[in-house]
Chains A and B, each alone.
Chain A
Amino acid sequence: MARIDLVDLAHSYSGNSADESSYALKPISMTWRQGGAYALLGPSGCGKTTLLNLISGIITPSRGKILFDGEDVTQLSTQKRNIAQVFQFPVIYDTMTVGQNLAFPLKNRGVPKPDIAVRVKEIAHLLDLTPDLNRKATRLTADAKQKISLGRGLVRSDVAAVLFDEPLTVIDPELKWQLRSKLKALHRELDLTMIYVTHDQTEALTFADTVVVMHDGRVVQSGTPAELFEKPAHTFVGYFIGSPGMNIMPAEVRGREARIDGHVISLKRSYDALPAGAKIEIGVRPEFVDIANPAPDLLAAQIERIDDLGRMRFARVRIGDLKFSARVRESFSSADGKCGLIFDAAHVHVYADSRLVEGTP
């Protein structure tokens, strides 16, 4: 159990080149709180697995430092760092029983036998593996095997953190949900720092209390699920999280007004000092745009289709050449597909070169 600090950490698989754009992980500095449940979220190839392998020591960073409770572990081998990791595909030791598999990490560290037995029993109970303890691990199903992998990650009580690298990829959807809630319960029970890598936003948002979103080797935002939803710090976070994603459109912003297509949208905050020459965009989630009948003071749009997502209906509309999503209220209906858009000013954000600009109230 420990706080993990990353100081100016970066990694390139092609050696220590000066060209930062070739880095799999661009320099980051951040702190992982002891006992936190984190999710590392991002598309494939964004550097999340690299970051995880750096923390566990499977790869050594090209530069920067990793501190566990203030102690520099950057050059320590995986065995010497106190860390557990669960991989995407189940890893089990074929010749051993389930119980021996669970005991393996403890046995290797010279834990006394009676202590091992107690701990293995405890973890097997938590993961519902007790009836299988004496069976050969090779003869189990994929999800039971992955439970064993999880168990080996959790069996050591003194680990600094448990890292999960998309551990539920091979599991059936229904069991996936069960195992995820199990993990959450285990997190509460064992008070461990957990870092969970995934490209599935539902998985990330339900598991973690802090979600770290990565894009192209960089951490673009880290915050609670609500923060990510309401105030994306980067346009990427906007459209990666949420379904449908955030609407992003180029606009001219001056003071408290944004101008699209000649139409003025008022903003909650004032933006006076926007960087010159930057690409200015406004972003607004479909949930905060309502569709109404056309009116002179509303931004005019053409409805292309309406998707019923169960709890809400969203319309795909066009404004000139721009595609846009907006919420459709129960009462709304339109014969010719023409409509106007009502923006919720408090949730319209301004982005300069894809990054959020904080306006002045």
Chain B
Amino acid sequence: MEKTVNQKAWFLVLPVFLVVAFSAIIPMMTVVNYSMQDTFGNNQFFWNGVGWFKELLDPSTDLGGRFLASLGRNLFFSGVILAIEVPLGIVIALSMPRQGWQVAACLVILALPLLIPWNVVGTIWQIFGRPDIGLLGYVLNSIGIDYNYVSNEFDAWVTVIVMDVWHWTSLVALLCYAGLKSIPDAYYQAAQIDGASRWAVFTAIQLPKMHRVLLIAVLLRFMDSFMIYTEPFVVTGGGPGNSTTFISIELVKIALGQFDLGKAAAMSLVYNLIILIVCWVFYTVMTNAGAARRVKEGAK
């Protein structure tokens, strides 16, 4: 049979192409364009080549120092968040009921924090933690703990971390719960027959079966916590000093505060690149783990 050559089908791709162009490619190219130039206002731009990028990676310059310090804070924050939220999420998922009306009740309660907009979360905790009128701040101070997130760096960090744990642990817990629910009863029965202890059931059955959802949970929580902006901005505004200034906060300061579009553009490109690389690594690891298994099984 002879095929009719008809290139009109390409027009069907046009809407997608336009959407992607306007939503991603054009803004991205604008940023790339800015990152190569310097401006002193008045819409006058000067060519700067890779100058900003060099400065960005050199800790002795002002830009490099600020970027690398905030990058360090971001990495530390994401590390702490993952170390707390993943185990806590697993524990919550394990202790959730398996049937009856309690399941629905638990799911609703867990989902509540996820439904609250970011800056509302920030505002809630900003007021909650105030030593004069906030319930948490007031109670802590009245039992003798000197707590003030505005003036104390450690308190500011604790507040930001606890806030994120409160906001996002539910996500990890819900994902793990879904993973746990998909384990057939026969596994638990077999473990009983085999005389497995509670710990052995966890390490031999539950954890391996949750492996995939856990990878997704870690990926989502890493990306989200690495891109954090709104909540710490509302609660601490990046302070005291620069102690809770994350890359995103730094970026807004440079771009909108100082109107240094070139520096900000270079910084956001590198920021974006870091997130892309981490996602790519995760994605490759995940799909490879799956593919390797399929190949082995197919060969048999």
Interface residues of A, Cβ cutoff 8 Å to B: 53, 56-58, 77-79, 83-85, 87-89, 91, 93-96, 104-105, 108-109, 138-141, 149, 152-153
Contacts and interface: CB of A to CB of B under 8 A. Distances in A.
A139 B186 contact: no
B200 interface: yes
B189 A104 contact: no
Interface in B220-258: none
B60 interface: no
Given A105-B193, A139-B296, 10 more contacts: A57-B192, A58-B189, A89-B186, A93-B204, A93-B205, A138-B293, A139-B297, A141-B300, A152-B190, A153-B193
**In the complex, which of the residues A87, A138, A152 has the most CB atoms of chain B within 10 Å of its own CB atom?**
A87
Question: Would you list the 9 A-B pairs with minimal beta carbon distance, nearest first?
Answer: A91-B190, A108-B195, A78-B192, A105-B194, A94-B208, A93-B204, A87-B186, A139-B296, A85-B193
Interface string B26-53: 0000000000000000000000000000
A169 to B, nearest CB: 12
B25 interface: no
B196 interface: yes
Contacts of B209: 94
A140 B300 contact: yes
Interface of B: 184, 186-187, 189-190, 192-197, 200, 203-205, 208-209, 293, 296-297, 300
A104 B196 contact: yes
Contact of A95 (B192, B208, B300): B208
A84 B191 CA distance: 11
A104 B205 CA distance: 12
Query: Which of B192, B205, B297 has the most C-beta atoms of chain A within 10 angstroms of its own C-beta?
Result: B192
Nearest to A144: B300
A104 B196 CA distance: 8
10 contacts: A58-B192, A77-B192, A88-B186, A91-B186, A93-B204, A104-B194, A104-B204, A108-B196, A139-B293, A140-B300
A353 to B, nearest CB: 38
B193 A56 contact: yes
Contacts of B186: 87-89, 91
B195 A79 contact: yes
Given A87-B186, A88-B186, A139-B296, A96 B192 contact: no
A323 B300 CA distance: 50
Contacts of B297: 139, 141
Q: Is the interface of A mostly helix, strand, loop or mixed?
A: loop
Given A96-B204, A108-B197, A91 B187 contact: yes
A116 to B, nearest CB: 13
Contact of A87 (B190, B200, B208, B293): B190
Nearest to A138: B293
A108 B190 CA distance: 13
A138 B293 CA distance: 8
Nearest to A80: B195
Contacts of A85: 189-190, 193
Given A139-B293, A139-B296, A93 B208 contact: yes
A62 B168 CA distance: 44
Contacts of A77: 192
B197 to A, nearest CB: 7
Nearest to A141: B300
Given A95-B204, A141-B300, A87 B197 contact: no
A87 B195 contact: no
Given A94-B208, A139-B293, A141-B300, A89 B184 contact: yes
Contacts of B208: 93-95
Interface centre among A56, A87, A93, A94 (most CB of B within 10 A): A93
Nearest to B203: A95
A96 B204 CA distance: 8
B199 to A, nearest CB: 10
Contacts of A91: 186-187, 190
Nearest to A85: B193
Contact of A79 (B184, B192, B300): B192
A83 B195 CA distance: 10
Contacts of B194: 104-105, 108, 152
B215 to A, nearest CB: 15
A137 to B, nearest CB: 11
B207 to A, nearest CB: 8
A148 B190 CA distance: 12
A104 B193 CA distance: 11
